[in-house]
Structure 1
């Protein structure tokens, strides 16, 4: 009978010693040994054997010692410096910020250093200075919601653009909805702006409501890097403080908001703005009551202006003539405007915006054919035209866009009155058209696409065709490689009650 013997290996035995199985006991022993003083005692009994110096236990001699060192540290991230841990935390998604800040006080402080943008809801959090201790590196602060005085115990909430507030449940009361009395007064807002300016000298973007001239001045003096400013409940007097914002590039002014507040921004304020902010690149005027003189001053002084947005404007008739002074304007946008310009003198020479590239209409009422035609004549060099959810845009109104001969991109969305014939009558004359997007235009039908319109489609580089839910043109055009070499044509064939568009390629 054969017997097997196992060879003894000292190296193999040292890797897993029996006395290391209880790791907790070993860690406690080493920890207590480290707490003992390193200096030996002066006198020891002669009969007692002298113990080895403590330094011998501190020298890592085997791999076992490395294991015990890491086991003594409960938080492994404490071995990392703040700089390294900040780089690691910055790579994590923003959705994990709240959970990361709950790990420890150190992580809470480090996570606060990564926050650059914040919306303020508690005004005392700003005045007490806790905002800057918690978030020392802020560059974007939105103070609008913090300036509102609304009943917190109300379950009724109202939201308008960036403003969200609670309203009272007593409908019979005059103050049950939003009014100017539910906003902090200008002095309180200015005090908060001074605290913010002292705590955030590197501020780049600020959103505030009901500020005065002195509050804006304090920010402009203490925050020289301020580049973007948004003012709600703005008036002419507030605009005097913007003159010191020499590096301001983006400005949004909100004067009158129907149902919420009404603050007048007239030609006086626009002229002050133009003379103080000569480096403006983007300007948005919402509910402003300017006219020809104010727009002219902006065009003459703000020569770097590239984008102008008019939202629900209250401009006086004739302001459209001043747009030609904006020589470097590239984008003109109308948002929620009930009119463009009702002046009866629009048939005269309007000039031209030579550098204009994009013209956009969103949620506007386009019912005045004369003003729309005059605007198209003024912007006849545009290469991009966007019409989204505009009321009153029928075939006759859209036909005024025939003067735009250089359009390369056309987007129609939510234009329910426009028909297929009205679309064809315009784009058939645009020889430079490269991209077309039609969405949610119910009166534009697939079955009404004729050979002339099909030839226009075949020359496009990009076509997104979804006028209604029953449209099947986009599905049939998928993978057709439009715009590449080869002859393409569309053939319409009716099958039952449905229409299909077929694409055939022939090499010649």
Structure 2
């Protein structure tokens, strides 16, 4: 029967609610379902558990409307960071306590950090979430389990106290960039005894008093803690964490004020620690030796910008942390091959290794990894000039399960190493190569012949890679992600990709001087799933090529086309009008007609060349 409702008349409310609950992972599906009819919209309001409020200016009135509309919220995120492409329209984040003031003090502890009771007056304050709005959210969403307040600079301890007193089932709290004081954090510790995950990154209003008070009250339930750039939080806080947070599993620290004492206390007290991320320039070997001795369950270790420890600390890690699966070493200048030898001999379960800017680590150390860690799945080598082909030869021989390989600025790696990886690691799925000038067609041809599971290939500014490589890749692999910016690729190579990789969704062909309209026409015909395309600095691409591209790629969401002299305002208008899913177009402002500006101002992003 025409216009008959065959669904609502037969599905009871309980079953419809269950369907909506199963759609929680897809916001777009939920939004679409809520628009179907009034009953579905009412069901969505009663069942919706996840909600994210973006950076469009969250006023208190919006917060009040949210709690009236969605009564079953469990996970709420408020993120007031400005969009990356537009930093105008909201006041900048205010640094109320500067490192210069901190260093001027002769004491290791501040006598007093004032609570901010009233936000600074500004014309834009009415578009920021304040304590009033947060109190409304807390009273209306008492079942909240996860709350994220990112860069909400107008909030104070008053609002957080309301959250603590009303949302007693809270398990996750992210206060990144919010000016919350000690009293607010203490209230959370006093009331939210189930809290497991706490993030205190860039919380400049906190001192040791707040963290210590929280640890004493709520430390037994805490499993994850992140602290970064908090000037007034020192080792005293970590000592309290080590004493009271005995179930801690994840710790992330980024501060110049942490030294050995705090981390040693954590290592001794938190023996269930599984994840440790450190960027603390004052920490030395003593701290890592404690971690290696007491944290035998450690699975992930990431060390950034360490300049005061040597191989001695990593020797302890290799000796004690037998379950280590993920190791990241970034800008650790005093580490040598000996540390990798120790890790390889002791951490046989290693799955992921990243070495970035560690200039004293060379081929010899990575050879040990290749020989001993046969289960390696991901390897990233960045700016390590002393690592040569022999290291990858060993990886290729014994690490047959390798799925991801990143090589950046590795001048000693050439085609022989890439061929060895292709032949020995046939399960490779992601290959990223950037500025490795000795790599060329030969290595990529071998990848195309042997790595049939490859779905992501990025070869950036490797000028020896050309059409022959892409022909082999197109014939042997079904790519979803391809980046060949700065290579010597023409329409011939692009045509091979278009005909061989119908599932391609991301493509970067910027700075390719020999790609023109023919290549774009082939893409439009052969890659209907393409969503993101970057073709900046392609001098031969014209409006005709764009029209052929968007005719077939109707799902296109982003298009970057700056410094393409043959593309005019007509081509820009063609992209806007032909792609109903378009979200972002990056182009020079003078190439956009007034009509296009009126029709699609929200998706247009302009190249900024003004000084």
CA distance in 2 between counterparts of 1:474 and 1:263 reads 51
Q: CA deviation at 1:99?
A: 2.3
Any idea what the Cα deviations from partners look like across 1:117-167, whole Å, max 9, x if unmatched? 11235323445x32123211101112342xx8xxxxxxxx544xxxx9742
User: Does residue 136 of structure 2 align to residue 203 of structure 1?
Assistant: no
Distance 1:427 1:314 in 2: 34
- Is 2:75 the partner of 1:140? yes
1:339 aligns with 2:254: no
Residue pair 1:205, 1:228 contacting (<8 A) in 2 also: yes
- Quote the residue 2:205 is aligned against: 263
By how many angstroms is 1:301 displaced? 0.7
Are residue 178 (structure 1) and residue 99 (structure 2) matched? no
- In the alignment, does 2:313 pair up with 1:367? no
Q: Distance in 2 between matches of 1:414 and 1:347?
A: 18
Report what 1:240 is aligned to.
186
- Gaps in structure 1 of 5+ consecutive residues: 1-69, 149-156, 169-174, 257-261, 481-495, 504-508
Q: Is the 8 A contact 2:58 2:129 kept in 1?
A: no
- 1:251 is displaced (CA, Å) by 0.9
Secondary structure at the aligned position of 1:207 is classed as strand
Aligned with residue 400 of structure 1, among 314, 331, 339: 339
Contact 2:367 2:390 in 1 (8 A): no
Residue 265 (structure 2) aligns with: 322
- After superposition, the C-alpha distances for 1:447-483 in whole angstroms (9 at most, x for unaligned) are 4249xx74x7655573347354952233201459xxx
Deviation at 1:338, TM superposition (A): 5.8
Residues 200-224 of structure 1 deviation map (CA, whole Å, 9 limit, x = unaligned): 1111011223543343332222222
- Is residue 20 of structure 2 the alignment partner of residue 78 of structure 1? no
Give the whole-Å Cα distance in 2 for the aligned partners of 1:104 and 1:322.
58
Q: 2:608 aligns to what?
A: none
Name the CA distance, whole Å, in 1 between partners of 2:404 and 2:362: 12
Partner of residue 384, structure 1: 324
- 5+ unaligned residues in a row in structure 2: which ranges? 96-119, 409-414, 428-440, 451-611
Aligned to 1:98: 31
Deviations along 1:475-507, one digit per CA (max 9) or x if unpaired, are 201459xxxxxxxxxxxxxxx997999x9xxxx
| Contact kept in structure 2, 1:435 and 1:460, CA below 8 Å | yes
Cα displacement string for residues 231-283 of structure 1 (whole angstroms, at most 9, x for unaligned residues): 23344343221222111111111235xxxxx43433x2321121011210111
Q: Decide whether the 8 Å contact of 1:399 with 1:425 is kept in 2.
A: no
User: Is 1:303–1:328's contact at 8 Å kept on the other side of the alignment?
Assistant: yes
Is the 8 Å Cα contact of residues 290 and 316 (structure 1) preserved in structure 2? no
Structure 1 position 219 matched with structure 2 position 137? no
> Normalization by structure 2: what TM-score?
0.53
Partner residue in 2 for 1:303 = 246
Give the Cα separation in 1 of the matches to 2:58 and 2:313: 49
Which residue does the alignment assign to 1:115?
Answer: 48
Any conservation in 1 of the 2:21–2:48 contact (CA below 8 Å)? no
* Residue among 466, 472, 475 paired with 2:422: 475
Distance 1:178 1:214, change over 3 A: closer
- 2:365 is aligned to 423
2 CA distance for matches of 1:386 and 1:177? Answer: 37
- For 1:334, what is the secondary structure of its paired residue? strand
Gap change, CA 1:358 and 1:246, over 3 Å in 2 = same
Q: Aligned-residue CA RMSD in angstroms?
A: 4.2
Higher relative contact order (CA 8 A, sep 6+): 1
Deviation by residue 1:345-389 (Cα, 9 ceiling, x = unmatched): 779988822333223227x2233334x633653674223254447
1: CA distance between counterparts of 2:59 and 2:22? Answer: 31
Total equivalences in the alignment: 383
CA distance in 1, matches of 2:442, 2:207: 56
| Inter-partner Cα distance in structure 1 for 2:315 and 2:181 | 31
Larger Rg: 1
Displacement of 1:397 in angstroms is 3.8
Aligned match of 1:490: none
Q: Tell me, yes or no, if the aligned pair for 2:254 and 2:280 is still in contact at 8 Å.
A: no
2:198 maps to what in 1?
251
Write the deviation string for residues 42-91 of structure 1: whole angstroms up to 9, x where unpaired. Answer: xxxxxxxxxxxxxxxxxxxxxxxxxxxx55x6433331332233334445
Pair 1:136–1:411, CA change in 2 (3 A): same
Between the aligned partners of 2:289 and 2:333, the Cα distance in structure 1 is 24
Corresponding residue for residue 167 of structure 1? 88
Once the two structures are superposed, residues 331-350 of structure 1 have per-residue CA deviations (whole angstroms, 9 ceiling, x without a partner) of 23326x2625159x779988
Which whole-Å deviations, capped at 9, do the CAs of 1:307-353 have from their partners, x for residues lacking one? 11113564246433323323323323326x2625159x779988822
User: Could you tell me which residue of structure 2 aligns to residue 11 of structure 1?
Assistant: none
Shift in alpha-carbon separation, 1:116–1:497, aligned structure 2, 3 A: closer
Report 1:456-471 matches (<5 A). Answer: 458=397, 460=399, 462-464=401-403, 466=405, 468=407, 470=415, 471=418
Q: Which residue pairs with 2:134 in the alignment?
A: 193
